[in-house]
Amino acid sequence: MTVAPAEPETLADVLGDVPLDCILWSPRPGMATEEDFLRIKAQEPRRRLELIDGVIVEKPMGARESYLSFTLMGFFWLYERTHNIGVFGSPDATMRLRAGLIRLPDIHFTNWDNLPEDSAHLRPVADCPPDLAIEILSESDRPGNTTRRVREYFTAGTKQIWVIDPRARIVKLYSNPVNPVEATTYTETDSLSGEPLLPGFSLSLSELFGDPQLNPRT
């Protein structure tokens, strides 16, 4: 006999470690639909929003995180031009990880072979999990929220998650869905390999974090 999951008692049971000022009040938490999500997401001013089991949550990105995202996308753009093995998404690309859960990875990659349909990535919400999800930590991010994201990505079928801390200048790579809290930490003296998802891709973290726009003006 299948046992139904227990009903959550608090918003923390639904959202995890999310700051209260990131939770939208209208529609009321727990009542938001995907139609509500798409309608509000299209309104001005544009905001980076996610849908978590009936709750619309804002995912802020500060200037430092935006600069790092731009720099990292530059490396991926050069790689994609010569390899063309899949789709790279920027910080505004929404992805459905399961029914009722729409996430906004800061950067993501999905191999062409893993798209459920040829145009799955062209919809308002991409209807497939990413093979690689990259999260860039902002000042509002909390450890519990990051851990939850990693677990959700693995559950959806994601193969690797990179969590980048631009202040500590480190990258944590998660690749073990059996133990989703296990990570390998890379520092500025390391290079990060894209294998096996991105054959031939290597990222020097000293080059990434040393980009002029990520540092004080000289």
CATH number given to 63-214: 3.90.1570.10
- Round to whole Å and give the CA distance between 57 and 67: 23
Under DSSP, the state recorded for 177 is T
pTM: 0.92
pLDDT digits (tens, 9 = 90+) for 63-74: 999 999 999 999
Q: Where are the domains of the chain?
A: 11-58, 63-214
Q: What is the percent of the chain with per-residue pLDDT over 70, rounded to a whole number? A: 97
Contact 111, 84 (CB under 8 A): no
H/E stretch holding 68 reads: helix 63-83
pLDDT digits (tens, 9 = 90+) for 164-184: 999 999 999 999 999 999 999
Beta-bridge partner residues of 110: 87
Contact 94, 103 (CB under 8 A): yes
Q: Under 8 Å CB-to-CB from 33, ≥6 apart: which residues?
A: 27, 54
Catalogue the long-range contacts made by 182-188 (C-beta closer than 8 Å, 24 or more residues apart).
none
